[in-house]
Amino acid sequence: MSFRVVNPEDGFTSDVITDPHRFVGRADLIQESVDALNSSLGLIAIYGKRGVGKSSLTRQIQALANGNYNLVHKAGLNHILHKKLRKYYTVYYACDSMIDDAHDLISRLCNDTNEEDGLLRLVPDNGKQLTEFSRSTESSGGLDLKVASWGAKGQEASKYTSAVPGDIVQTFRNFTSAVVESNNRCFSKRDSVLILLDEFDVIKNKQGLGSLIKSLSSDKVKFGICGIGQDLSSLIADHASVGRLIEQGSIFVKPMSENETTEIFRVAEEFFGGQVKFDGDVVKQIAVLSEGYPYFAQLIGKSCVSNANIKGTNYIDQAVLDLV
Ligand SMILES: Nc1ncnc2c1ncn2[C@@H]1O[C@H](COP(=O)(O)OP(=O)(O)OP(=O)(O)O)[C@@H](O)[C@H]1O
Ligand SMILES: [Mg+2]
């Protein structure tokens, strides 16, 4: 094949991976994720070192929760699809260091209008539907304040939930309790809503986060938290309070094996449409150099392709790697 300048970004990315076709390896973590999604109760916690691939895995969990099983096929895990798997409406939110505490976090979630990932997109009329307040009789604990929308016959046609001024936690409860029922009327039936919180480690004051998540979790609401940490306690200060919730959903993302890192380059070659070839030895060296961090593998790969572009070749050999 004759030389062509290629865009390094076609094959490599420094972004979080949402596309299952780009996501390499991690069969064990995929299995753990499917198991965690299938338990009706419980919190999912994804943790590991910086740049090891936590956010990408979290995005894949989102796809699995939505019923996209490409990843499972790709990992050769078809056998785990035999039983019926739980499906979710999903929310994905990346935290930032301006979030002070649990209240702040819930408030952010209740106001997130992101069209692909935000909670509000799943709430009927963005939570603004205002008809008539009623104390619902099936009230349990804090779940009694609902806004009912009355149909022509004077009976409730549909029940909506709405924002409660000054009480963000109750607002959140109302929003999430509306999600499954109301969306199932329009879409395929799903069991629950999954709220994925990335960069969870940057929240300043983590006091009470665990117990709040526990109190908000139910058969219809599941949380997944993701962040940097060597163990669970670095992610959740009051982790004792989520003790039993976490039994099944603790997912530690370790550095990749050399085989998995190697696979990144095979996938990249595919995405370059066969225009770019990596020498086998070069790939092996990069796999060793990157020490299991896909972040470095992607970075070095990208840099190799840029350098090869300048050199006027699409074959990445030792000479190109030496330039990098
Ligand atoms: N399974 C994978 N296959 C291929 N590349 C991956 C995989 N997982 C992660 N990467 C790549 O590694 C880099 C880091 O990924 P990601 O952002 O998911 O890691 P992270 O652990 O969330 O990082 P941070 O600690 O900075 O939040 C990105 O360039 C991403 O494209
Ligand atoms: Mg991340």
Backbone φ and ψ for 135, nearest 5 degrees, come out as -85, 110
Tell me: the pLDDT tens digits for 99-125?
A: 999 999 999 999 998 889 999 888 876
Q: What is the pLDDT of residue 47?
A: 95
How many degrees, rounded to 5, is the angle at CA 62 between CA 56 and CA 66?
A: 145
At residue 72, the 3 state secondary structure works out as: helix
Closest ligand (CA of 94):
2
Pocket test for ligand 1, best of 15, 22, 56, 92 (most atoms within 8 A of CB): 56
Kind of pairing between the strands at 277-278 and 315-316: parallel
Q: What is the pLDDT of residue 160?
A: 46
Q: What is the pLDDT of residue 147?
A: 37
Tell me: the pLDDT tens digits for 31-47?
A: 999 999 998 888 999 99
Residue 187 CB coordination number (10 Å): 10
Q: Which residue has tokens 């992607």?
A: 298
- Domains belonging to the chain, first-starting first, are 8-13+256-323 (1.10.8.60), 27-122+189-253 (3.40.50.300)
Pocket test for ligand 1, best of 19, 50, 55, 74 (most atoms within 8 A of CB): 55
Q: For residues 1 and 51, give the distance between their C-alpha atoms in angstroms, rounded to a whole number.
A: 35
Closest ligand (CA of 293):
1
Tell me: the pLDDT tens digits for 126-143?
A: 565 433 333 333 333 333
* pTM for the full predicted model: 0.88
Q: For residues 193 and 75, give the distance between their C-alpha atoms in angstroms, rounded to a whole number.
A: 25
Q: Which atom of ligand 1 is nearest to the CA of 60?
A: 1
* Residue 318 identity (one-letter amino acid): Q
Closest ligand (CA of 15):
1
**CA 4 from chain center: how many Å?**
36
Expressed in angstroms and rounded, the spacing between residue 247 Cα and the centre of ligand 1 is 25
Tell me: the pLDDT tens digits for 201-246?
A: 999 898 889 889 999 999 999 999 999 998 887 888 776 777 777 7
Q: What is the pLDDT of residue 262?
A: 97
Expressed in angstroms and rounded, the spacing between residue 179 Cα and the centre of ligand 2 is 27
* Residue 268 identity (one-letter amino acid): A
Q: Cα–Cα distances in Å, from 291 out to 239, 281, 284?
A: 30, 16, 11
Q: What is the pLDDT of residue 161?
A: 57
Atom 5, ligand 1: which residue's CA is nearest? 294
The residues lining ligand 1, judged by C-beta closer than 6 Å to any ligand atom, are: 13-17, 23-26, 50-56, 228, 264, 294-295, 298
Q: For residues 307 and 315, give the distance between their C-alpha atoms in angstroms, rounded to a whole number.
A: 11
Average pLDDT, the chain: 86
Q: What is the pLDDT of residue 149?
A: 38
Atom 29, ligand 1: which residue's CA is nearest? 14
Residue 164 contacts residue 129 (beta carbons within 8 Å): no
Residue 269: both structure tokens together = 């070659």
At residue 156 the predicted structure's pLDDT band, cuts being 50, 70 and 90, is very low
